[in-house]
Amino acid sequence: MAHVNGCHQNKETWNAHNQMMVEPLSTYDTEVFEIIKKEKKRQTCGLELIASENFASRAVLEALGSCMHNKYSEGYPGQRYYGGTEHVDELERLCQKRALEAFHLDPEKWGVNVQPYSGSPANFAVYTAIVEAHGRIMGLDLPDGGHLSHGFMTEKKKISASSIFFESMPYKVNPVTGYIDYDQLEQNASLFHPKMIVSGASCYSRDIDYARLRKIADQNGAYLMADISHVSGLIAAGVTPSPFDHSDIVMTTTHKSLRGCRAGIIFYRKGVRSVDPKTGKETLYNLEGPINQAVFPGLQGGPHNHAIAGVAVALKQSLTPEFKAYQAQVLANCQALAAALLDKGYKIVTGGSDNHLILLDFRPTGTDGGRVEKVLEACAIACNKNTCPGDKSALRPSGVRLGTPALTSRGLLEEDFRQVAEFIHRGIEVVLEIQSSMSPKATLKEFKEHLAQDGKCQMKIRGIRAEVEAFSGKFPMPGIAEL
């Protein structure tokens, strides 16, 4: 008989407990397992075109689900607040080494922190370390393709913590061309005097002029941080311009084009920051200590060692010729998708793409992104509504963002993406058919209600969905077969 807190537990109880601890998910919790199976089916049978999503490899998922999850290890390698950390120290050092190798960085000139839980916490850690409370940052405005964590606020409210705890001034794109307006950014920076300029975007389809941003940052004595979360896989493969030659700090998530699990990485410069032209006196970077302090203990507790394991595996994969070929195909597929949709008369913001995504603007068609997203979802095509430059309200965004990384991971090539464009076009035709029978002032809720009740359109959607699922079923799904 076992004695626990004054109560005797019989042998059967402990046998049941031990069985619970080794029973597989499929039999122990059928409710959760069935939900996971349904999501697996959705991913396998549909077309995943959300630009920030990808399909992690089996090896990454196995590392993520490993016993590394069990270990607490507050601190950094060799300086932990817990015992039994010799193997997590080994893992974290390996992950750091691979991170530097993946982006061809000299460890004498660059350091790296692989503990951030994800991208937004990593960005906030950098601001906390370098900008400090109420310091000034400039990032691309959210409606123009920027990210929430780059200081987003509206005229009436500060939305992101990055605008609440820091002073933020957004820079914007040219509303006609859709390209970043570097001239206006330079003028505004000279008036605002930011301590940090943030490059990078959540929905911007063109290469960023890092050299121009470096010049603007230098004119204002500002740090330049590049958030490469969307394009880090492309950069590691050498198929798109790298920010490392021009930036002081580089941050990336690891689950988008890099194709790892959900986490964040912060790279920071070491050594000489500047040299006084008159005296020759060197000013050294002081980034490593403040950034590490901001990540832990400033903003986080123990690192997620299972995620660091998954990231380490993904970084190893990024060093292979196969990964480089994959990233080149991501670009080729995006070009093919863009060309096919342009041929069908759709407007693409900036007129095309240099990277893995495009932004369709539906203002010329008279509809919007929310309606298109909803109908395409019913057709088993996953995308996301997105603001376009000049949109008056984020509640009714004009566009839809499409990306090629996930489907390229399944093996789709250019001709396949031309077929994907055809499916998208047919779905949009259903949107326009429904909208033509409704008031121009109809809400998205009213549109959804009409969609659900329109038997003719539902039949068209079922037909498209059946074709999409048959098409998608021809391509393998990475990862673990059952999960």
Active-site positions read 203, 255
Token duo for residue 44: 């396998």
Omega of the bond leading into 397 within 30 degrees of 0 (cis): no
Token duo for residue 113: 């922190």
CB atoms within 10 A of CB 459: 9
CB atoms within 10 A of CB 256: 26
Distance CA(236)–CA(225), nearest Å, equals 17
Distance CA(9)–CA(167), nearest Å, equals 59
Rg (CA), the chain: 25
Distance CA(423)–CA(468), nearest Å, equals 7
C-alpha distances in Å from residue 394, one per residue of 169, 315, 364, 384: 18, 36, 18, 13
Distance CA(379)–CA(358), nearest Å, equals 20
Distance CA(276)–CA(143), nearest Å, equals 40
